[in-house]
């Protein structure tokens, strides 16, 4: 009996060509695993395509709810944003996919996992760190890093390789944008985006959204409620997290929310330029932040901001299954105990405009915040506070003045 390899399978050209390549060069029985993270792609006919390409079996695994609950929400609660802009759509999905690939590998008694990520990108790191952390005994095969065996260097060569192996599939020879999609976002790379001096061709590029200029000339009002940092209702309707994100994608996309053009620093050392559409994610992150403003004290907020930045880097670098990620997430979860309340805002031409926030755990005290003197605060108390708070500055200034004499 041949050894089995688990192939992370999308049904696209790369992973279709990899099936006969694995059989021809390694003698594996290929078990394809297509992981659905809510990308909304048509999966009908995928089994016939995989088997026509020589696969022994195909799993289609829908992990959308697990992705939302166990991977997206920890990042939302942490306020994890990479390099000020990127909401980690691809980064969060890769460990979720790696986890399910390992689970199927164990079920099938496979000895290896294969992925189609290139040697220039971040995804190879994210997939492989996840696999190493969860199944250090499994072999990892990365065709694009094996030039002595993988001889295909263009789309045309891959199409011809498939045809030579009796696989005649309707893949286009033309070059388009390189995209990655899941429920949280869609990313775009390639074509004019490879030159940072070029303006994106948004009319051809956007999938989930319209530009703010093309958004309606009217406001969309949104109300959300949270319990312990987790969204529970949207416009009065109770929904699970995945349903809330899907509906926010629709509302945000219609209003030009969450389109980001970024040149980011990849883990492998190079800069890359991409466009991210994250309409629902942008709204959800903003709504959560809006509620936290009322509830978290200053010191906790400051520490959470620092750890949120570190959390984003950990996730971006593929280090999800690490003690540090678990430790930071435990801190974040402890801050979410009282993040409960209602958030209202308006969407208008790319903007998220606050329309009111309330919480039973709000630390905002109208008596304290007003300009009138209340029972809890006497304006005269500030004099002693400022004297002590500014004492180091005053002492230093006195010393320097004395030295200058």
Give me the active site residues, please: 14, 94, 123, 178
Provide the phi-psi class of 390: left if phi over 0, else alpha when psi is between -120 and 50, else beta.
Answer: alpha
Angle at 63 between CA 57 and CA 68, to 5 degrees: 165
Provide the phi-psi class of 259: left if phi over 0, else alpha when psi is between -120 and 50, else beta.
Answer: beta
Provide the phi-psi class of 178: left if phi over 0, else alpha when psi is between -120 and 50, else beta.
Answer: beta
Give the strand pairing for 139-141 and 178-181: unpaired
Looking up tokens 């499994």 gives 138
Bridge partners (DSSP) of residue 353 are 346
Query: Cα(143)–Cα(180) distance, rounded to whole angstroms?
Result: 19
Beta strands in 105-185 (DSSP E): 112-114, 139-141, 178-181
Q: Which of 41, 38, 39, 22 is nearest to 30 (CA)?
A: 22
Beta strands in 123-254 (DSSP E): 139-141, 178-181, 186-189, 220-227, 230-234, 237-238
Query: Cα(118)–Cα(225) distance, rounded to whole angstroms?
Result: 41
Mapped onto helix, strand or coil, the DSSP state of residue 20 is helix
Exposed, middle or buried by CB within 10 Å (0-12, 13-18, 19+), for 300? Answer: middle
Q: Where are the alpha helices (DSSP H) in 39-88?
A: 46-52, 64-66, 73-78
């Amino acid at each position: 009996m041949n050894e089995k390899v688990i192939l992370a399978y999308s049904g696209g050209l790369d992973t279709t060509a990899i099936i006969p390549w694995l059989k021809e060069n390694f003698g594996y029985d290929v078990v394809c695993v297509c992981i659905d993270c809510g990308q909304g792609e048509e999966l009908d006919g995928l089994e016939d395509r995989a088997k026509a390409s020589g696969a022994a079996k195909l799993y289609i695994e829908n992990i959308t709810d697990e992705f939302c609950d166990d991977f997206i929400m920890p990042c939302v609660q942490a306020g994890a944003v990479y390099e000020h802009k990127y909401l980690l759509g691809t980064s969060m999905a890769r460990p979720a996919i790696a986890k399910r690939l390992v689970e199927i590998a164990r079920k099938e008694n496979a000895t290896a996992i294969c992925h189609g990520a290139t040697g220039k990108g971040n995804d190879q790191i994210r997939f492989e760190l996840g696999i190493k952390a969860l199944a250090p005994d499994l072999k990892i095969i990365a065709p694009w890093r094996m030039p002595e065996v993988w001889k295909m260097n263009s789309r045309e060569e891959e199409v011809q390789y498939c045809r030579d192996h009796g696989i005649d599939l309707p893949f286009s020879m033309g070059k388009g944008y390189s995209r990655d999609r899941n429920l949280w976002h869609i990313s775009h790379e390639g074509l004019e985006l490879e030159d940072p001096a070029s303006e994106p061709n948004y009319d051809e590029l956007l999938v989930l959204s319209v530009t703010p200029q093309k958004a309606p000339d009217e406001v969309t009002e949104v109300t959300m409620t949270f319990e312990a940092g987790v969204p529970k209702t949207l416009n009065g309707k109770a929904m699970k997290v995945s349903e809330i994100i899907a509906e926010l994608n629709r509302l945000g996309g219609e209003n030009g929310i969450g389109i980001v053009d970024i040149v980011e620093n990849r883990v492998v050392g190079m800069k890359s330029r991409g466009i991210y559409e994250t309409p629902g994610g942008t709204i959800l992150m903003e709504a959560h932040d809006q509620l936290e403003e009322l509830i978290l004290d200053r010191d906790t907020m400051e520490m959470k901001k620092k750890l949120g930045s570190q959390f984003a880097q950990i996730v971006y670098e593929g280090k999800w299954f690490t003690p540090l990620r678990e430790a930071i997430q435990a801190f974040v979860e402890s801050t979410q105990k009282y993040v409960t309340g209602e958030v209202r805002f308006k969407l208008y031409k790319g903007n998220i405009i606050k329309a009111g926030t309330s919480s039973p755990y709000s630390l905002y005290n109208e008596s304290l915040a007003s300009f009138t003197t209340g029972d809890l605060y006497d304006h005269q108390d500030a004099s002693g506070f400022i004297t002590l708070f500014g004492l180091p500055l005053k002492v230093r200034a006195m010393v320097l003045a004395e030295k200058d004499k």
